[in-house]
């Protein structure tokens, strides 16, 4: 801490302040706006994409990010990324989410980001991770303040997710058709979660579909729909 | 004299001279043998019992018991062989008589012999474990006489032939039979069974097998059963007269098997005379007979009950699904009651009030009554009819009888909540139109419903009665307070209904005539003056009015009409003719209601106070209406009102159904929450079961609806699904 040596400067203020300044540490005063602060790489990245008015990366920034990453915004890897970021809503990242996400992924440059994408994509092959991403998708894709997921968003998400899943679920298209034709309402969370269970555990010929096992009503209706339309596969 | 020495006297045993006469035994035996012969020759009178006894006694004493015994065996055998020959020689009818006589003689002889040889019987025989004399005598009789090759089969054949003759209607010598059978019994139950009973049962089985086959081909069910019953009684009588009592169960079992069990199905299902025909024709005697006979046989009653149940279910099903029957709800219900009465009577008179039959009847009724979704509505309409007119002038006890019968039908309903809805509607109409026959009867039924279903079921209904009473008091207060101000205005009677208790009505528009409006407003301000914070809305679709009307030639009538009709008719005070459109505009009554109203005023014979042009049956927008000056009626008071409960049209029915379904949702949810709150964690199937159990007093919840409610509760975060076991639900506090 510099000392104001009045004594040395014989109670003369001007030389005293000069000496005071001379004694200050050499790195710039944060209040001094003349020199922009040196940012961390992550901060730099953030700055590049963030919305000018909000402390968030919003639609426009996201689109730029995708371009820089050389990836289609509809690519499922964006979903995986959002999952890592624990993003609350699709198509935007809060500052916190972005920072925490990149930290967790150990990314601090666009190149590292780009090269992390394939491994992110392959994470979906892991059954447990897929389930986590799947379950995450519901809250992420739904509108803020709503309890249920809009039907067309849900259909879009399902199509996206099931395209990645192996073994493929043969009824994806029928499921989407059924929803559009018969259901026409938003999807509750419980039904969303239970569907993955259904897809994974009930075989295409529906031979092990047990009505007693408390599947959601929507699933029961879907099974009836398949039977009614003669769409049940007989493998 | 010398002093006598005292000597101890010894009394020595009187000794016989020991006779070691080897011939002694022989001699003694000869005496006895002779005696036995004499006994068998009926010459016992010349014998000295004492001497013979002494001889036998001596033999045993001197260790000649063996000789005595073997001699006895020999002698008796010899005599019995003679007897056997004489029996064998007997011809025809005399065979049994001879046997009988000889048997009696043998018994007498045996007794004498036994008496003579009693000492041996009591000492020698036990110590040597030989057969006692009496038993020996029986055994020898059995072996020598009965089991002689000729006699054995002849005896059996004779006995069986006699039984057959008797079965065929002949009279036989029962006393003789009894004695012979008793003889066999005395010889040992083994003998009786092997030598007679076993064969008797076999032969009887064959006999009845044949006979039953013959009967079943030639008789109708009722007559067959009569014959079976007769045969059964016959056999029992036979046993009591000349067979061993223990045979009764066995022979009746044979008859039951051959005559009943083998032909059960054929009898029950016999065309034109089987069980169903008996039921239809109320043949109590035949049914009773069938019940008594079939209950003896395993599964006999099961068949009867099953056939009866199937028939009742079938008839019931036809009754409730017959479109003809569905037109008249009161008749429909009456037929159900008649059917129940019929079968109650049958079960009571013919089936011994058998509980299993009662249960079968109840479950059948429960089954088919619920096949028709409108049963609850119809039962309510039946009650309505009775309480409006059917029970007029009926005694109190008879009223109770009818109401109890209604309750009985009510219990069978699965959808009791639907009944409640209709009952409320119909009760409302009865109360408001003042058309109930007896207040006591109404209240009595409410009490019965309360006992059956609990307080909740009837609290609103009771509220309706309270409202009626309160309204009376209110009217009284109104006229006391405001009466003088009202002058000549129409006399108003208001029933103030508490919204929650009465069936909900959609509010409708209706422009009341000015003079009515005026007095209504007076009432409203009076009421609201004494009851602050309440809101009144006039239910114009539920009111009635009495109009004093004068027609063309001066004929006066008092018309009893609905509020709507009144509004329409009052318009004609100021106009002689009006078009439909004008009426519609003036009254503002909704179209369907208005059309119905106009139809009842213009198109019904005897009640056409209005005239319509054109004269078609239906009301269309272009119609014009005229006050019918030429109206006539025999009666001064003419009823044209339409506020009577009637069976709903299809669309109304659908609407009520929907409302009932809506009402059920919160009840199901409440049940789920109640259950989960206490159990905390429960799996799906158990929740469904518990919910069903809790609600079954009111209705049968649909498992799919329950599942939907659970999902809704999950969404609203009352419950959550377990993370690992999808079937398990957890209560979230």
In tens, the pLDDT along B285-315 reads: 999 999 999 999 999 999 999 999 999 999 9
Q: Give the rounded percent of residues in chain B with a pLDDT score beyond 70.
A: 97
Over residues B577-599, the pLDDT tens digits come to 888 888 888 888 888 888 888 88
Give the residue-averaged pLDDT of A29-42.
63
CATH number of the domain encompassing residue A81: 1.10.238.10
Kindly report, residue by residue over B671-696, the tens digit of the pLDDT.
Answer: 999 999 999 999 999 999 999 999 98
pLDDT of residue B399: 87
In this structure, are residues A118 and A132 in contact, taking their beta carbons and an 8 Å threshold?
Answer: no
The rounded percent of chain B whose pLDDT value lies above 90 is 46
Q: For the segment B237-257, what is each residue's pLDDT rounded down to a tens digit? A: 999 999 999 999 999 999 999
Q: How far is B588 from chain A (nearest CA, A)?
A: 39
Domain tally for chain A? 2
pLDDT at B464 over 70: yes
| Record: contact A189-B715, CB cut-off 8 A | yes
For residue range B124-148, list pLDDT tens digits in order: 889 889 999 999 999 999 999 889 8
DSSP string computed for B319-358: HHH-TTGGG-HHHHHHHHHHHHHHHHHHHHHTSTT-HHHH
From A96, A125, A154, the end of a domain falls on A125
A98 and A137 share a domain?
no
Please indicate, yes or no, whether residues A161 and A206 belong to a single structural domain of this protein. Answer: yes
A149 lies in the same domain as A223: yes
**Residues of chain B neighbouring A212 (CB-CB closer than 8 A):** 684-685
Cβ A202 vs Cβ A145: under 8 Å = no
Show the DSSP H helices in B531-590 as ranges.
Answer: 563-571, 580-587
Query: pLDDT confidence of B499, banded at 50, 70, 90?
Result: confident
Same domain? A61 vs A133 = no
ipTM over 0.90: no
The percent of residues above 70 in pLDDT, for chain A, comes to 82
Among B338, B503, B328, which Cα is nearest to B425's? Answer: B503
- One DSSP character per residue, B125-136 reads HHHHTPPPHHHH
A135/A104 same-domain check: no
Pairing relationship of beta strands B624-627 and B637-639 according to DSSP bridges: unpaired
* Domain of residue A66, residue span: 41-125
Q: Are residues A104 and A83 in the same domain?
A: yes
Q: Hey, is the C-beta of B618 within 8 angstroms of any chain A C-beta? A: no
A31 belongs to a structural domain: no
Tokens of A184: 């026409």
State the fold for domain B651-731: Arc Repressor Mutant, subunit A (1.10.10)
Shortest CA gap A164–chain B (Å):
24
The answer on pLDDT for B632 being more than 70 is yes
Q: How many residues does chain A have?
A: 235
Greater confidence (B626 vs A29) lies with B626
Closest alpha carbon within chain B to A188? B715
Q: A137 and A210 in one domain?
A: yes
Give yes or no: residues A148 and A98 share one domain: no
* Count of beta carbons in the 10 Å neighbourhood of residue B14: 5
Average pLDDT score over chain B: 89
As a whole number of angstroms, the distance between CA B269 and CA B276 comes to: 8
Mean pLDDT of A200-228: 83
Q: Are residues A222 and A158 in the same domain?
A: yes
More confident: B316 or B599:
B316
- DSSP conformation class of A149: B
Please name the residues in contact with A192: beta carbons below 8 A apart, sequence gap of 6 or more: A135, A138, A149, A154
What residue has token string 């949810």? B669
Query: pTM to 2 decimals?
Result: 0.74
> By the CB < 8 Å criterion, does B62 face chain A?
no
Contact at CB, A212 and B721, closer than 8 angstroms:
no
Asked if the C-beta of B150 comes within 8 angstroms of chain A's C-beta atoms, the answer is: no
Residue B165 pLDDT level (bands cut at 50, 70, 90): very high
**Inter-chain Cβ pairs, chain A and chain B, closer than 8 A:** 34
Rounded Cα distance between B283 and B281, Å, is 5
In a shared domain, residues A139 and A61: no
Distance CA B637, CA B167 (A): 80
Q: Which helix (H) or strand (E) holds B83?
A: helix B65-89
Is A109 in the same domain as A142? Answer: no
- What pLDDT does A208 receive? 80
pLDDT at A27: 55
Contact B194/A at CB under 8 A: no
What pLDDT sits at residue B618? Answer: 82
Element (H, E) at B558: strand B556-562
Indicate whether A70 pLDDT > 90. no
Last residue of one domain, picked from the residues A125, A153, A169: A125
DSSP B605: T
Say yes or no to pLDDT of B19 above 80. Answer: no
| CATH assignment of the domain containing A179 | 1.10.238.200
Q: Choose which CATH entry (1.10.10.1110, 3.40.50.2000, 1.20.1310.10, 2.60.40.10) describes domain B23-145.
A: 1.20.1310.10
In a domain, A102, yes or no: yes
- Report the C-alpha gap between B624 and B224 in whole angstroms: 75
CATH class as words, domain B544-639: alpha beta
Cβ-nearest to B684 among A147, A214, A217 = A214
The H-or-E segment that residue B611 falls in is strand B610-613
For residues A91 and A59, the answer to whether their CB atoms sit within 8 Å is yes
pLDDT tens digit sequence for A116-136 = 888 888 888 888 888 888 989
| Residue A209 within a domain | yes
Final residue of a structural domain among A125, A154, A178: A125
Cα–Cα distance, B555 to B224 (Å, whole number): 74
Looking at the partner chain, which of A147, A190, A197 has a beta carbon nearest the beta carbon of B711? A190
Tens-digit pLDDT profile for residues A178-206:
898 888 888 888 889 888 888 888 888 88
For residue A29, being part of any structural domain is answered with no
Task: Clarify whether residues A63 and A101 are in a common domain.
Answer: yes
Tens-digit pLDDT profile for residues B698-733: 899 998 899 999 999 998 889 988 888 888 899 987
β-bridge pairing B556-562 and B637-639: parallel
pLDDT in tens, B545-577: 888 988 888 888 898 888 889 999 999 888 888
Question: Is there a domain that residue A36 lies in?
Answer: no
Contacts of B708 in chain A (CB under 8 A): 217
pLDDT digits (tens, 9 = 90+) for B359-397: 999 999 999 999 998 999 999 999 999 988 877 888 888
Helices and strands, number each (H, E), in chain B = 31, 9
Contact in structure between B519 and B489 (CB atoms under 8 Å): yes
Q: Which of A152-161, B84-93, B338-347, B586-595 has the highest mean pLDDT?
A: B338-347
Q: Where is B547: in which H helix or E strand?
A: strand B544-550
Q: Is residue A5 part of a domain?
A: no
Q: What mean pLDDT is predicted for residues B80-100?
A: 90
How far apart (Å, rounded) are the C-alpha atoms in residues B191 and A86?
A: 99
Stretch (H or E) spanning B213: helix B198-218
Asked if B219 contacts B226 with a C-beta cutoff of 8 angstroms, the reply is no
Residue A212 domain-assigned (yes or no): yes
Residue span(s) of chain B under CATH 1.10.10.10 come to 651-731
Residue A22 lies in a domain: no
């Amino acid at each position: 801490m510099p000392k104001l040596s009045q004594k040395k400067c014989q109670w003369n203020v001007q030389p005293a302040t000069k000496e005071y300044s001379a004694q200050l540490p050499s790195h710039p005063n944060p209040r001094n706006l003349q020199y922009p602060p040196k940012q961390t790489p992550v901060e730099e990245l953030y700055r590049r994409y963030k919305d000018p008015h909000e402390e968030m990366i919003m639609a426009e920034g996201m689109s730029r990010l995708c371009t820089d990453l050389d990836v289609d915004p509809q690519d499922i890897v964006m979903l995986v990324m959002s999952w890592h970021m624990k993003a609350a809503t699709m198509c935007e990242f809060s500052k916190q989410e972005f920072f925490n996400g990149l930290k967790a992924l150990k990314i601090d440059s666009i190149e590292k980001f780009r090269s992390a994408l394939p491994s992110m994509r392959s994470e979906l092959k892991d059954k447990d991770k897929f389930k986590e991403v799947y379950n995450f998708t519901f809250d992420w894709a739904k509108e803020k303040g709503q309890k249920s997921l809009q039907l067309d968003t849900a259909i879009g998400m399902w199509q996206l997710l099931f395209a990645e899943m192996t073994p493929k679920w043969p009824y994806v298209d029928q499921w989407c058709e059924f929803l559009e034709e018969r259901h026409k309402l938003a999807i509750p969370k419980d039904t969303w979660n239970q569907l993955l269970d259904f897809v994974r555990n009930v075989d295409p010929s529906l031979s092990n579909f047990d009505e007693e096992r408390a599947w959601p009503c929507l699933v029961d209706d879907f099974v009836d729909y398949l039977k009614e339309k003669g769409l049940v596969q007989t493998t | 004299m010398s002093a006598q020495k005292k000597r101890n006297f010894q009394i020595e045993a009187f000794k016989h001279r020991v006779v070691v006469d080897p011939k002694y035994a022989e001699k003694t035996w000869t005496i006895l043998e002779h005696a036995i012969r004499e006994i068998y020759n009926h010459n016992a009178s010349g014998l000295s019992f004492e001497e013979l006894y002494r001889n036998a006694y001596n033999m045993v004493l001197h260790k000649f018991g063996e000789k005595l015994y073997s001699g006895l065996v020999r002698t008796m055998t010899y005599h019995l062989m003679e007897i056997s020959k004489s029996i064998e020689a007997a011809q025809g009818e005399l065979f049994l008589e001879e046997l009988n006589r000889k048997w009696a003689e043998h018994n007498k002889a045996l007794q004498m012999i036994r008496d003579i040889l009693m000492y041996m019987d009591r000492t020698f025989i036990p110590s040597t474990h030989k057969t006692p004399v009496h038993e020996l005598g029986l055994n020898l009789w059995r072996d020598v006489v009965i089991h002689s090759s000729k006699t054995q089969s002849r005896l059996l054949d004779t006995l069986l032939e006699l039984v057959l003759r008797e079965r065929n209607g002949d009279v036989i010598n029962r006393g003789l039979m009894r004695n012979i059978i008793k003889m066999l019994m005395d010889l040992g139950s083994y003998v009786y069974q092997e030598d007679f009973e076993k064969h008797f049962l076999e032969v009887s089985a064959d006999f009845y097998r044949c006979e039953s086959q013959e009967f079943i081909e030639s008789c109708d069910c009722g007559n067959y059963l009569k014959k079976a019953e007769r045969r059964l009684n016959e056999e029992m009588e036979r046993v009591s007269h000349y067979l061993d009592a223990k045979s009764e169960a066995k022979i009746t079992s044979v008859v039951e098997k051959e005559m009943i069990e083998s032909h059960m199905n054929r009898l029950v299902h016999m065309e034109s005379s089987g069980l169903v025909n008996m039921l239809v024709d109320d043949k109590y005697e035949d049914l009773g007979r069938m019940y008594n006979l079939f209950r003896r046989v395993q599964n006999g009653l099961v068949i009867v009950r099953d056939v009866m149940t199937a028939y009742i279910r079938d008839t019931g099903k036809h009754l409730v699904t017959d479109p003809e029957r569905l037109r008249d709800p009161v008749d429909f219900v009456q037929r159900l009651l008649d059917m129940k009465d019929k079968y109650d009577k049958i079960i009571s008179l013919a089936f011994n009030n058998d509980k299993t039959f009662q249960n079968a009847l109840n479950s059948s009724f429960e089954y088919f009554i619920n096949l028709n979704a409108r049963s609850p509505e119809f039962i309510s309409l039946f009650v309505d009819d009775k309480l409006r007119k059917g029970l007029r002038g009926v005694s109190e006890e008879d009223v109770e009888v009818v109401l109890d019968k209604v309750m009985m039908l009510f219990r069978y309903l699965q959808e009791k909540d639907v009944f409640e809805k209709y009952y409320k509607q119909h009760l409302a109409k009865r109360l408001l139109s003042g058309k109930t026959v007896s207040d006591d009867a109404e209240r009595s039924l409410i009490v019965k419903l309360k006992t059956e279903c609990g307080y909740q079921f009837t609290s609103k209904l009771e509220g309706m009665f309270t409202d009626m009473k309160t309204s009376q008091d209110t009217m009284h207060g109104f006229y006391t307070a405001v009466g003088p101000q009202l002058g000549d205005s129409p006399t108003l009677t208001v029933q103030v209904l508490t919204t929650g208790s009465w069936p909900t009505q959609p509010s409708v528009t209706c422009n009341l005539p000015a003079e009515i409006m005026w007095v209504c407003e007076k009432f409203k301000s009076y009421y609201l003056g004494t009851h602050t914070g309440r809101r009144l809305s006039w239910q114009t679709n539920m009111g009635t009015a009495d109009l004093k009307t004068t027609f063309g030639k001066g004929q006066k009538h008092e018309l009893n009409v609905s509020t709507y009709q009144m509004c329409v008719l009052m318009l004609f005070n100021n106009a002689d003719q009006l078009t439909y459109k004008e009426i519609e505009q003036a009254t503002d009554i909704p179209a369907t209601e208005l059309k119905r109203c106009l139809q009842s005023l213009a198109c019904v014979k005897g009640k056409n106070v209005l005239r319509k042009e054109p004269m078609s049956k239906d009301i269309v927008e272009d119609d014009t209406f005229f006050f019918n000056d030429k109206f006539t009626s025999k009666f001064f008071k003419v009823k044209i009102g339409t506020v009577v409960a009637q069976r709903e049209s299809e669309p109304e029915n659908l609407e009520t159904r929907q409302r009932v379904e809506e009402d059920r949702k919160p009840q199901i949810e409440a049940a789920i929450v109640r259950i989960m709150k206490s159990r905390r964690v429960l799996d799906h199937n158990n929740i469904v079961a518990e919910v069903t159990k809790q609600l079954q007093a009111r209705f049968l919840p649909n498992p799919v609806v329950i599942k939907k409610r659970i999902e809704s509760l999950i969404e609203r975060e009352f419950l959550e699904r377990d993370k690992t076991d999808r079937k398990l639900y957890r209560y979230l506090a």
